[in-house]
Every structure is written in C-alpha cells, then in structure tokens.
Amino acid sequence: MQKGHILKSLRSLRAMVIHPPDNQGQELLAQLVRIGCKTETLWPAPKQFFDDVDLVFLEVSETVLRMAPSSLADSGMDRPTLVALTGYENPSVLQGLLDLQPDSVITKPLRPYGVLTSVVMARRIWLERKRLQARVAKLNVKIQNQQTLNRAKVVLMKLYNISEEEAYRRIRQQAMSKRATTVDIARSIIHAADILGDARSKNGGQ
C-alpha cells in the first residue's frame, strides 16, 4: 500500500468512536467530520465488533479496557485500525495499551490538532503490520512446504538409493504428469511411507 494512498483514502474511511458522549467525544467527532471520515459513535462499547469499520477510536482506561470488545483485543489481521484515547499515564493504563496494541494513541485532553497526524500514522502502522503479517504467513507456508519436500526426498533416497537431485527430479516428474504441486506429491509420498513403515514394522514384529 503506497504512502500517498493513505492520504487519498482518508475520506473513504469509516470511523467508529467508542467514547462517552462528553466534550472530548464531541471534539473528536467534530474533527473527524472536518477531516471528512464517515463517522459513527457508539457507547457503551459493544461486545462484538463489526467488520464494516476501518478505523476505531477507543478510550483506554483501566475500566474501559475490561469492557473492550474481544475482537479488538486481538491484533490479528481482521482488526480495524485502532487509535486509543488515554487520559492517564499511570502503569495500569499503559499496561492496557500494551495489551491492546493500538496502532496509535491520542492523549486527552484532546485537541483537534494532531488527530489527523494520529490517524495517518495509525493507518501507516496498520497497513505495514498487515503487510508484514501476510508476509509472515506466506513465509510459514513456504517453510512448511520445504520441510515436506525434504522429508519426501529422504524417503525416496532411502527407498531407491538415489541422490537428492534424482529424488527431487522424480517428485517433479510425478507432479507434472499428475498435474499436482510438488508439495502434494511430497505429502503423498510421506503418507505412503508412513503406512508402509507401519505395515513393515508390524510384519517383522518380534
């Protein structure tokens, strides 16, 4: 996601303000309207979280944190961008921030200045985290596939007394003729070896 895109998309963001309807909440709401986000407010905090929101502002105090929707507490890939609002800097509130892992923080008393900067920074961090999470997931799959292939190669090498290159060549050949991926073939080989191994150890059992 490009840096310019964050600024361009500001006006298409659907924002949700989870904050009591006091002066601070009103001030934030008015500033978000100026910035041009589509903004809704909600109080008290809902148990469940909606998936049609891009940006959530949530007051974090020791009591509010306990009420935070469970879907927010998990910084997984589906969580919207989260901006925490804090009025205190004491350790229990700070611990709350560490637990919640918001993408940005606005300290109260809130001033209109800085809200836009916080939103932009939060979006940047959120997009970056999303990108990294997707990358990590992809790398995980890659590593697992590599392990599967390696195990399959070892099976073939032992079985036919062939080199690693030859083992890989056979797996690939199978994959091409069966129109499957090398990983699928590798899995079948491991699976078959397991069954044969079980059978052999039972047959030759003392």
Partner 1 sequence: MANVKTRKAPWKVGVLFSQSGLTAIVERVQLNGVMLAIEELNERGGILGREIVPVLYDPASKAGRYEFLSERLLGSDGVNVIFGCYMSSSRKEVLPVVERRNGLLFYPTLYEGFEYSANVIYGGAVPNQNSVPLASFIFGNYGNRLYLVGSDYIYPRESNRVMRHIVRQAQGEVVGEEYLPLDASKKMMEKIVSDIKSRRPDAIFSTVVGDGTVKLYQAYKDAGLDPRSMPIASLTTSEAEVMSMGPEVAEGHITAAPYFNTLETPASTAFVGRYQRKFGGEGREVTGCCEAAYFQTHMFAQALKRAGTQDTETLRKALLGAEFDAPQGTVRIDPDNSHTYLHTRIAKVDREGRFVIEREVANAIKPDPYLVYPALNDWRLGLRRATLEDSQHTAFNE
The contact set with partner 1 (CB under 8 A) reads 7-8, 10-11, 30-31, 33-36, 111-113, 116
Q: How far apart are CA 94 and CA 83, in angstroms?
A: 14
Q: How far apart are CA 65 and CA 156, in angstroms?
A: 55
Rounded to the nearest 10 degrees, how much is the dihedral formed by the CA atoms of 123, 67, 59, 9? 20
Adjacency order of strands within the sheet including 14-18: 38-42, 14-18, 55-59, 81-86, 104-107
Q: How far is the CB of 111 from partner 1 (least distance, A)?
A: 8
Q: How far is the CB of 38 from partner 1 (least distance, A)?
A: 14
The SS3 assignment for 113 reads coil
Q: How far is the CB of 7 from partner 1 (least distance, A)?
A: 5
Q: How far is the CB of 113 from partner 1 (least distance, A)?
A: 7
Nearer to partner 1 by C-beta: 15 or 72? 15
Nearer to partner 1 by C-beta: 60 or 110? 110
Nearer to partner 1 by C-beta: 22 or 51? 22
Q: How far apart are CA 82 and CA 1, in angstroms?
A: 18
Nearer to partner 1 by C-beta: 100 or 106? 106
Q: How far apart are CA 10 and CA 3, in angstroms?
A: 12
Q: How far is the CB of 36 from partner 1 (least distance, A)?
A: 6
Nearer to partner 1 by C-beta: 11 or 135? 11
Q: How far is the CB of 65 from partner 1 (least distance, A)?
A: 30
Nearer to partner 1 by C-beta: 38 or 151? 38
Q: How far apart are CA 189 and CA 79, in angstroms?
A: 39
Which tokens is 73 given? 């507490």
